[in-house]
Structure 1
């Protein structure tokens, strides 16, 4: 018997394969902590056009229109407008663009009496609930009851200086640019479709959306939620439930 002994050759190990560096995955943008309720809006705009009782503001997401018979008469192109909406409360601030000083501040919402200090009202604010002093305007409130919708003007000390009417209308026609100071959470039901525009019935009224911001195919009657956080736009439409087949249904040929 012949046994062949083969020499053992030591093979060189291949050079170590370079492991590509793991790319850092950016976490999803955090939801703005100032978006606690639906509806919520935080916008900033500049004057585009004005006419009697109406001001058209250009914002990062589209046109915001303010309407009033008693206010907004001295709004200038050199001023900027800051707008907040929180549930049934809204705030419109008009400030000088040059130094940020306050020109007008309007608070709208259900009238709520202060509980700790007499002759005060309690109002929502971006930094929490705030106390508004009635001052010399108590007689202007005699026609209002607790919970009635009311628009008042206050000064820098949060003291009332007048009672007004103020309405707004919002069109969302574009996605905001990167790092835009915009927060929005708004839900409603699709009420009308026209060309590239979708009209959504919401708790704050009819809001017009441009489908180019990323709205999926929708039908009239479908619920829809729009959320904007800086430059991120998310449109959520719940899936349509398919009707369950009837038991015992037979195919008809």
Structure 2
């Protein structure tokens, strides 16, 4: 058997063709530039195809927009004389006598028929409007009504029978006689009358009620006080000025801003919250001027 001899001719080794370093770096830069251009083109396409949204940037942490502050309505100046609006706390009580501390001084209520169950946990709201006055006694804890007294001239209701008409802080109010019609037979139209009413404005009793006011201090800032009171100086004693007014004799401490006065001098006191104003109405009679034209 003849075997053929197989001779493998080795192939020459293939070597990478040598390249210069400058050509290699140039190729890399071209590849990087193309990649960046392709990426930017894709971002532009996505931006153009994406939805358009108008959003405000979020506010920085700790900052927020303050609401526009509303200017409080300015209350109309008090022109009714006399007029008093006060709020007081029970200080001391006796049988038929209650001493109240108010922002301007001591208010004393007296009665022979009521005011026998007032407590230190109650507060009193007090109004005077010309010949009318109102005393409301409420629990300080929840504001519930304990007593409400109305004083003033008896005025019959015009629209509804067996009713009376009374002034109130929110306007004229209708008062129902209820079961007290017999007690009112001794009163005539215009007679001074004090009644107690319940939450339905129905009379529950007929009483006597007096009050005494001493103005000894300037009310603190923010006090809910309104007062307009005119009278005539009747007495001077130490630092006190006694003024006779339509609501009786009122004692004023000169330290609230009353200048030197004399007995018989008219005086008007106006208190608006913490502001105190004292004025002296002129009592001089104007002298008539003679006419320059000749008398015919």
Shorter-normalised TM range: 0.7 to 0.9
Deviations 1:78-107 (A, max 9, x none): 000000000000000000000101000000
Tell me, what secondary structure is at the counterpart of 2:143? coil
Tell me, what secondary structure is at the counterpart of 1:216? coil
Which of these two proteins has the greater Rg computed from alpha carbons? 2
Partners of 2:279 and 2:99 in 1: CA distance: 28
Out of 115, 134, 154, which is 1:72 matched to? 115
2:260 aligns with 217
Check if 1:183 corresponds to 2:221: no
Partners of 2:222 and 2:273 in 1: CA distance: 5
Q: Which runs of 4+ in 1 moved over 6 A?
A: none
Pair 49,187 (structure 1): closer, same or farther in 2 beyond 3 Å: same
Q: How does the TM-score come out when normalised to structure 1?
A: 0.82
Deviations 1:119-160 (A, max 9, x none): 000000000000000011101101000000000000000000
Out of 163, 169, 172, which is 1:129 matched to? 172
Aligned residue pairs, count = 215
User: Pairwise mapping of residues 228-247 of structure 1 onto structure 2 (< 5 A)?
Assistant: 228-238=271-281
Tell me, what secondary structure is at the counterpart of 2:114? coil
Partners of 2:124 and 2:115 in 1: CA distance: 11
Deviates more, 1:46-55 or 1:232-241: 232-241
User: Pairwise mapping of residues 88-127 of structure 1 onto structure 2 (< 5 A)?
Assistant: 88-127=131-170
Gaps of 5+ in 2: 1-72, 288-296
Q: How does the TM-score come out when normalised to structure 2?
A: 0.70
1:49 aligns with 92
Partners of 2:135 and 2:152 in 1: CA distance: 12
2:182 aligns with 139
Partners of 1:127 and 1:34 in 2: CA distance: 16
Q: 1 or 2 for the larger relative contact order (CA 8 Å, sep ≥6)?
A: 1
Q: CA deviation at 1:50?
A: 1.2
Pair 88,241 (structure 1): closer, same or farther in 2 beyond 3 Å: closer
1:192 aligns with 235
Check if 1:63 corresponds to 2:106: yes
Partners of 2:253 and 2:123 in 1: CA distance: 25
Q: Please identify which structure carries the higher strand content.
A: 1
Partners of 1:203 and 1:237 in 2: CA distance: 17
Partners of 2:247 and 2:128 in 1: CA distance: 9
Partners of 2:78 and 2:194 in 1: CA distance: 23
Gaps of 5+ in 1: 1-28, 245-253
Partners of 1:223 and 1:66 in 2: CA distance: 27
Partners of 2:132 and 2:284 in 1: CA distance: 35
Q: What's the RMSD between the two structures over aligned residues?
A: 1.8
